[in-house]
Chain A
Amino acid sequence: RKEVEQDPGPFNVPEGATVAFNCTYSNSASQSFFWYRQDCRKEPKLLMSVYSSGNEDGRFTAQLNRASQYISLLIRDSKLSDSATYLCVASDSNYQLIWGAGTKLIIKP
């Protein structure tokens, strides 16, 4: 079983719709969580950290459920420019990042 699992997609979503991804992690000792965005053939870019209380940044909302060991990312009013691969990341107590394989999102006009 992978330590961080994501649905690879692709998610094909019309522009303006709301889309949500989930990501599960197996290590209950994981301490920090992040969502990164990666465009094709580019390096990952930090989208947002995920806090226990949940956090929101504009159209993006991240949630953490420690009991069920999953994190989620919600994108509202999706834009064409949101098309990318979204990577879920968990950090252990040694700050080592464990990456999911990513969920591909395609926003269609």
Chain B
Amino acid sequence: GAVVSQHPSWVICKSGTSVKIECRSLDFQATTMFWYRQFPKQSLMLMATSNEGSKATYEQGVEKDKFLINHASLTLSTLTVTSAHPEDSSFYICSARGRGGRGINQPQHFGDGTRLSIL
């Protein structure tokens, strides 16, 4: 099946540090990638949607200058949390969807997630 690799899986860093998370589709071309955030005992919340070669579309309330998303190729998207603070500590998950066929029933394929802890 389709595989999405997300790296790193766990990050602990000091407040003020910028953290980059990579999301790669390993065996398919991901025309669209999604970035989610999940706080404990809460549902996944979509942060932004990115299509290859174009700017990401951010959800309301998500600061695009703080969460920089780059989708430079059909297999790679990155999320950079700039100047991270303790309130940014969360579980960040990427997902990817390929092209072709009827997109309406295409599920997303998820990365393993990145647990970010800001001290």
Interface residues of A (CB under 8 A from B): 4, 8, 31-32, 34, 41-46, 49, 87, 91, 95-97, 99-102
Whether A102 pairs with B115 at a CB distance below 8 angstroms is no
Residues in B neighbouring A91, C-beta threshold 8 A: 104
Whether A43 pairs with B110 at a CB distance below 8 angstroms is yes
Residues in A neighbouring B91, C-beta threshold 8 A: 41
Cβ of B93 under 8 Å from chain A? yes
* B side interface size, CB within 8 A: 25
Of A8, A44, A95, A100, which is within 8 A of B103 by CB? A95
Whether A46 pairs with B111 at a CB distance below 8 angstroms is no
Of A32, A45, A100, A102, which is within 8 A of B110 by CB? A45
Whether A87 pairs with B43 at a CB distance below 8 angstroms is yes
